[in-house]
């Protein structure tokens, strides 16, 4: 019976399959088979033995149940795999695991699992990039109120919001390319990293194994591939999670009843509350924001796994069994949910306009101050005058521009036409050009990728 929600509730079947027990065993067997083939190429073992080991190094021959039986007896997970593979290879089994230590197999197999997982994460990130690019382009001129400290600031556009996220996702894709160069490495270096157990041609053996598996050999190791690489991986996953958290948080806030500018999609038969039938709760984005907290928390144990006793101890092992699959499966869930939300995002134009004018033009204080400065009033003097007028309008519940229009000092500097031009829609600066620039840069990168 499943216990952890990643087994039955979160993540795609594709991602869960990467980290399931059978696939993890298969990756260990893939490494053992590649090692046997490397030994055979260098004449260390018979080619027939390498052929048999390669043929039988799969879960059709080596059953997870048998591996568990052996481990229950000997209390060593990798030796259980080695013994299970050896016994199905008959006389050729004596060449299984030749020269290797456990983490030669584990760390190299982990790299294969991470590689598969990152390929899926990259695919989702590119889909997210496509969706955000489309939204940024479509809403380049959708003017809305900008908020700082939770208060109405000055106008911005929805195109700016989406382009900001788009730019961030593009950086994640660039980070991922750099990360893959460092993290997708394996090792065949033996007990403490000297490779003494592989003999004089140790580095040739390692090179052949890694080429066979599509990995690079780590530059230097002790018994482990350096765990700062795993820390970097976990930080990358957490950083992607933080972007999804950011997107989810913004949508949740904009879906508040009193704001309701956008909303995540709500199905025809969807139930919002067990007691309040009217509710349209943002449950998808709330899930995204909640799961991000788990991924953030997994960075700390990854950091603690880097300093180990001498050439290694075992304190990292149990931790990595948990945080690697958990973080990948949860991020997979977050990415897929965010994609569904953004693809079905609902807009409420009438509320966007309503909120733009909610403060009765108080948001025009900054452009008024700048216009007074342009006409000759000192900047600090203009700031104080406009501040006083804004406070007066707020306290009296009046339209800011009406208060401004009746102020004699303002009228000494500004004409009626100047005041008429003070509209939120006119104060978005070069927002459309900024969005265009982001879109152009992203499209250039996509062309380089051959998309």
Evaluate if residue 451 carries a pLDDT over 70: no
* pLDDT at residue 299 in the model: 98
> CA-to-CA distance for 410 and 386, rounded, in angstroms?
9
> CA-to-CA distance for 319 and 114, rounded, in angstroms?
16
> CA-to-CA distance for 312 and 103, rounded, in angstroms?
10
**Average pLDDT of the residues of the chain:** 95
CATH architecture assignment, domain 102-125+156-268+275-355: Up-down Bundle (1.20)
Q: 358-426 in CATH: which number?
A: 1.10.40.30
Evaluate if residue 113 carries a pLDDT over 70: yes
- In tens, the pLDDT along 355-369 reads 999 999 999 999 999
Q: Is 49 a catalytic residue?
A: no
Same fold across 5-95 and 102-125+156-268+275-355: no
| β-bridge mates for residue 235, sequence order | none
CB 78 within 8 A of CB 105: yes
- In tens, the pLDDT along 349-406 reads 999 999 999 999 999 999 999 999 999 999 999 999 999 999 999 999 999 999 999 9
- Fold adopted by 5-95: Fumarase C; Chain B, domain 1 (1.10.275)
Domain ranges of the chain: 5-95, 102-125+156-268+275-355, 358-426
* pLDDT at residue 273 in the model: 67
The b/e string for 53-81 (b: 16+ C-beta within 10 A; e otherwise) is bbebbeeeebebebbeebbeeeeebbebb
Q: Please tell me which residue in 4, 273, 297, 415 is annotated as part of the active site.
A: 273
Q: Is 317 a catalytic residue?
A: no
Note the pTM of the prediction, 2 decimals: 0.94
């Amino acid at each position: 019976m499943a216990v952890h929600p990643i087994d039955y509730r979160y993540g795609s079947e594709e991602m869960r399959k990467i980290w399931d027990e059978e696939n993890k065993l298969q990756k260990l067997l893939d490494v053992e088979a590649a090692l046997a083939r490397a030994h055979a190429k260098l004449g260390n073992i018979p080619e027939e033995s390498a052929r048999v080991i390669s043929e039988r190094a799969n879960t059709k021959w080596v059953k997870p149940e048998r591996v568990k039986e052996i481990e229950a007896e000997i209390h060593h997970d990798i030796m259980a795999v080695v013994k299970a593979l050896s016994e199905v290879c008959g006389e050729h089994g004596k060449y299984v695991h030749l020269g290797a230590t456990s983490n030669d197999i584990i760390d190299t197999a982990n790299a294969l699992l991470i590689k598969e997982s990152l390929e899926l994460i990259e695919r989702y990130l590119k889909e997210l990039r496509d969706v955000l690019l489309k939204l940024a382009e479509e809403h380049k001129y959708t003017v809305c109120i900008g908020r700082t400290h939770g208060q109405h600031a000055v106008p911005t556009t929805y195109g700016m919001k989406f382009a900001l996220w788009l730019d961030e996702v593009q950086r994640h894709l660039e980070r991922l390319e750099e990360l893959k160069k460092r993290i997708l490495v394996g090792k065949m270096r033996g007990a403490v990293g000297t490779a003494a157990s592989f003999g004089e041609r140790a580095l040739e053996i390692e090179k052949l194994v890694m080429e066979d598996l599509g990995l690079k050999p780590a530059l230097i190791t002790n018994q482990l591939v350096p765990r700062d690489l795993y820390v970097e991986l976990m930080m990358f996953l957490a950083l992607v999670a933080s972007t999804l958290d950011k997107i989810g948080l913004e949508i949740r806030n904009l879906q508040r009843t009193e704001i309701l500018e956008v909303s995540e999609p709500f199905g025809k038969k969807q139930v919002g509350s067990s007691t309040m039938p009217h509710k349209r709760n943002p449950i998808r984005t709330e899930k995204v924001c909640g799961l991000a907290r788990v991924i953030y928390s997994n960075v700390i144990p990854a950091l603690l796994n880097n300093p180990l006793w001498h050439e290694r101890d075992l304190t990292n092992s149990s931790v990595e069994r948990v945080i690697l699959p958990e973080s990948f499966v949860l991020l997979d869930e977050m990415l897929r949910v965010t994609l569904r939300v953004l693809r079905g995002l609902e807009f409420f134009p009438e509320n966007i306009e309503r909120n733009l004018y909610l403060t009765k033009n108080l948001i025009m204080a900054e452009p008024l101050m700048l216009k007074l400065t342009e006409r000759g009033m000192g900047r600090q003097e203009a700031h104080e005058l406009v501040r006083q007028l804004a406070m007066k309008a707020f306290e009296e519940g009046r339209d800011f521009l009406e208060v401004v229009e009746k102020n004699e000092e303002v009228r000494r500097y500004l004409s009626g036409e100047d005041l008429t031009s003070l509209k939120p829609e006119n104060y978005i600066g070069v927002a459309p050009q900024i969005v265009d620039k982001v879109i152009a840069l992203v499209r250039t990168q996509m062309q380089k990728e051959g998309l």
